[in-house]
Amino acid sequence: MPRHVQDLLGQHLNGLIPKTVDVDPDTRLGRVLLRLRAALLDAEAERQVTKAFGDELIALVPRLRRFARLRTGSEAEADDMVQATLMRAWEHRSQFRDGTNIVAWLFTILRNTHLNQCKRLRREVEDVDGAIAGRLSSAPDQEHRIALTELQSALDALPDEQRETLLLVTVDGLRHEDAAAILGCRVGTVKSRVNRARERLATALGLS
């Protein structure tokens, strides 16, 4: 696939979810982060965790939120999922080994949290008339909203494994090796899924 088409697809996908950095301290997730920061400082003082572990854990929250929103289509559900991920990471902090891949570790926890929630609820959320795409963006013009709806429909039409792999690599910017660790597959499989997903999206959106 030509590089300019890949870049255009990346721009479209990035427009689906705006990047956010700050978490409102008055929200439930914001309050959890305040408590987590304090707990990390105490744990660091007691040499239970390193400063690098705490800094990286907090720094990855915006990326976790973004991926969670892409998975759920709901800001509230996404924040609940991130909260559950952070608490699970805290509970299992002793299992993390310094120098290993904290990005893959956290995204794996996030992914498993979502999969377990889906199994427990045993229900599917249907994106009627692009309802999810509408919630994901505050686009001011109708033309852009239509484009987002078309993009969401094209994403929904992808096989689950292709869609998830594409979002991890293209939107969240994970290395192929990190995505492979999260998904439990080979790096070559990740590359193949991303390429096939890009080709299908480009065709569906009339970019190829």
Domains assigned to the chain: 1-17+137-208 (1.10.10.10), 19-134 (1.10.1740)
**Per-residue confidence (pLDDT) for residue 141, from 0 to 100:** 54
Q: How many CB atoms lie within 10 A of CB 129?
A: 10
Count of positions (residues) in the chain? 208
Residue 18: C-alpha distances to residues 77, 105, 139, 150 (Å): 16, 24, 10, 17
This prediction has a pTM of 0.75
Helix axes 75-91, 28-45, angle to 10 degrees: 20
* 50 three-state secondary structure: coil
pLDDT along the chain (208 residues), means of 10: 78 73 84 93 92 93 88 84 93 87 92 78 48 47 64 86 90 89 93 94 83
* pLDDT in the model for residue 97: 85
Q: How many CB atoms lie within 10 A of CB 131?
A: 14
